[in-house]
Amino acid sequence: MLEQTNDSYRSLPGRFYSLLDPTPVASPRIIRFNQGLAAELGLASLANAPDAALFSGNELPVGSQPLAMAYAGHQFGQFVPQLGDGRAILLGEATDRQGRSRDVQLKGSGPTPYSRGGDGRAALGPVLREYLVSEAMHALGIPTTRALAAVSTGEPVYREGALPGAILTRVASSHVRVGTFQYFAARGEQPAVAQLADWVIQRHYPDCAEADQPLLALLEAIQERQASLVAGWMLVGFIHGVMNTDNMAVSGETIDYGPCAFMDRYDPRTVFSSIDRNGRYAYINQPPIAQWNLARLAETLLPLLPMDQEQAVAEATAVIEGFPNRFQHHWMAGMERKLGLLETRPDDGRLAHDLLDVMHADGADYTLTFRQLSELAQNMVEDSGAAWPGPPPSQALEDWLQRWRDRVVAGDLAQRAQLMKSSNPAVIPRNHQVERALEAAIREQDFGPFERLVAVLAAPFDDADQWMEFTQPPEPTEQVYQTFCGT
């Protein structure tokens, strides 16, 4: 099932990981298996009878030589020289239908040499949350690790009290993080940093091998994918919550769904995570934090650049300083789609920012406002004077809508409406819905709400008339203000 591929992480020296097997669990049971992803990975033979023993680590797939990866990282700005997979084990790599290698990893599979006193386990709630949110992100078109299976272990894990244990099978295009580079750089192991960079180039950025300065090209390529990724987050109102350098994958996929959440009301300073006391990872801080993390990556490469250090710093700095422009480019392109602006004009940025300001002042729901705007565009195809489809708009929104109408009335409205509908989701994993599904699963072993949420989140841009409850913001009493890491 998982053969050794030629870009296997196992081909790197032993310092990069620890070889070990998952710790067996009492009575594994499949909660959910992702048939579509299994087919993508060429594991279709498993789809009919997914094996709980396999996705709990009780049995190993043929050809598997499991390992836990070493990494370091800046956590809330503080450098921790040794982190690593404390509760995850890489089973191996599968080759997907497109011929790309994809890591298959168990999360919650028992202690490793990197557990630092932790139990190596995961509770059911966070496993289901990661399943829901990562698959929702994929359906929204945002690069992400995927969820192949969720298994209950039949064993308790002890956090504030006893909770049911579970294991997630995570699929990623790789698990190398900014913190993986930092791990070796902090030890002064430059040859290992160089080997890691070569591996990452081979796996993710083969074009960089041909560049004059492959490492600078790699830095720039990683930056480009991060700029695009974080723009994608911002456009759907996603807040990662723990953008530590160990939680930033160099592949450009969203990774590590801990206290993440989607914003309901638009407020740029929104923070959900209970551990983010100073709002370091607030919604609006995500782009500058991504840039800060990339600067930490750049530092690990400096000693390897074939030039004097002063010039190396200057060149790497020039790359990092390009982040805001790259981010802005992706964000604006996405905003134009959300607003149905088929042709770029100089005042587009103003139009977009002014809408956000109105939403902020009105306390409007981010997702619903954009979806209603798409609906308005659709209705305007028949009747250019169509009214706002929601409750009566504020004066500020009314004024803004007039500017937007003037802007979009010329040109192909039907095409605009279609673009908007496919760019503004009707459903996102709203926190109150996610919490409700998790509660039912944890307290009553009722997986119905979880299954319904998985189903509706798989097609977020469809008209969700039969799923009305999932398109609506929380009532004041349903509002969730805080999320927890769940480790």
| 81 part of the interface to ligand AMP, by CB under 6 A | no
Tokens of 28: 């594994």
- Binding-site size for ligand AMP (CB under 6 A) equals 18
Q: Is 84 in the site for ligand AMP (CB under 6 A)?
A: yes
103 touching Mg ion, by CB under 5 A = no
With CB under 6 A as the contact rule, which of the stretches 115-123, 211-219, 260-268, 401-409 interacts with ligand AMP? 115-123
Residue from the set 50, 120, 125, 334 that interacts with ligand AMP by CB under 6 A: 120
Interface stretch with ligand AMP, choices 38-46, 78-86, 317-325, 473-481 (CB under 6 A): 78-86
Counting Cβ atoms within 10 Å, is residue 85 exposed (0-12), middle (13-18) or buried (19+)? Answer: buried
**Among 237, 241, 258, 340, contact with ligand AMP (rule: CB under 6 A):** 258
Q: How far is CA 453 from CA 17, 355, 431, in A?
A: 36, 30, 11
Stretch that binds ligand AMP, among 49-57, 117-125, 195-203, 367-375 (CB under 6 A): 117-125
Residue 107 contact, options ligand AMP, Mg ion, none, Cβ 5-8 Å cut-off depending on partner type: none
Is residue 256 a contact point for Mg ion (CB under 5 A)? yes
Q: Kindly write down the DSSP assignment for every residue of 211-225, as one continuous string.
A: SSSHHHHHHHHHHHH
Among 14, 81, 118, 411, indicate the residue that binds ligand AMP (CB under 6 A): 118
Instruction: Pick the stretch among 18-26, 240-248, 380-388, 449-457 that binds Mg ion (CB under 5 A).
Output: 240-248
Give the residue with the Cβ less far from ligand AMP, 213 or 487. 487
* Least distance CB 75 / ligand AMP (angstroms): 7
Q: Which of 96, 198, 207, 246 is catalytic?
A: 246
Task: For residue 461, report the phi and psi dihedrals to the nearest 5 degrees.
Answer: -95, -5
- 256 vs 276, beta carbon nearer Mg ion: 256
Task: Give the range of 97-105, 127-135, 248-256, 279-287 binding Mg ion by CB under 5 A.
Answer: 248-256
* 241 binds ligand AMP per the rule CB under 6 A: no
In sequence order, which residues have a C-beta less than 8 Å from that of residue 355 and are 6 or more positions away?
339, 369, 400, 404
Residue from the set 119, 198, 315, 435 that interacts with ligand AMP by CB under 6 A? 119
Does the annotation mark 246 as catalytic? Answer: yes
| Interaction between residue 273 and Mg ion (CB under 5 A) | no
Q: Is 33 exposed, middle or buried (0-12, 13-18, 19+ CB in 10 A)?
A: buried
87 binds ligand AMP (CB under 6 A): yes
* 82 sits near ligand AMP (criterion: CB under 6 A): no
Candidate list 40, 85, 253, 276; residue touching ligand AMP; CB under 6 A? 85
Q: How far is the CB of 163 from ligand AMP (least distance, A)?
A: 12
Smallest gap from Cβ 413 to ligand AMP, in A, equals 46
Among 385, 402, 381, smallest CA distance to 393 is for: 402
Query: Which residues, listed in sequence order, are joined to residue 30 by a DSSP beta bridge?
Result: 151
Cα atoms in the 13 Å half-sphere on the side-chain side of 416:
25
- By the rule CB under 6 A, 214 interacts with ligand AMP: no
Which of 242, 352, 426, 441 contacts ligand AMP by CB under 6 A?
A: 242
Contacts 24+ apart (CB under 8 A), 186-194: 186/72, 186/79, 186/81, 187/81, 189/15, 190/303, 190/304, 192/13, 192/15, 192/16, 193/300, 193/301, 193/303, 193/304, 194/304
- Candidate list 135, 220, 256, 336; residue touching ligand AMP; CB under 6 A: 256
Mind giving me the DSSP string for 289-344? HHHHHHHHHHHHHGGGSSS-HHHHHHHHHHHHTTHHHHHHHHHHHHHHHHTT--S-
In angstroms, the CA 252 to CA 238 distance is: 16
What are the contacts of 265-268 at 24+ separation with CB within 8 A? 265/363, 265/364, 265/365, 265/366, 265/473, 266/237, 266/356, 266/359, 266/360, 266/363, 266/364, 266/365, 266/366, 266/369, 267/360, 267/363, 268/356, 268/360
| Residues annotated as part of the active site | 246
Q: Which residues bind Mg ion (CB under 5 A)?
A: 247, 256
Query: Where does this chain bind ligand AMP (CB under 6 A)?
Result: 83-87, 114-115, 118-121, 242, 246-247, 256, 258, 485, 487
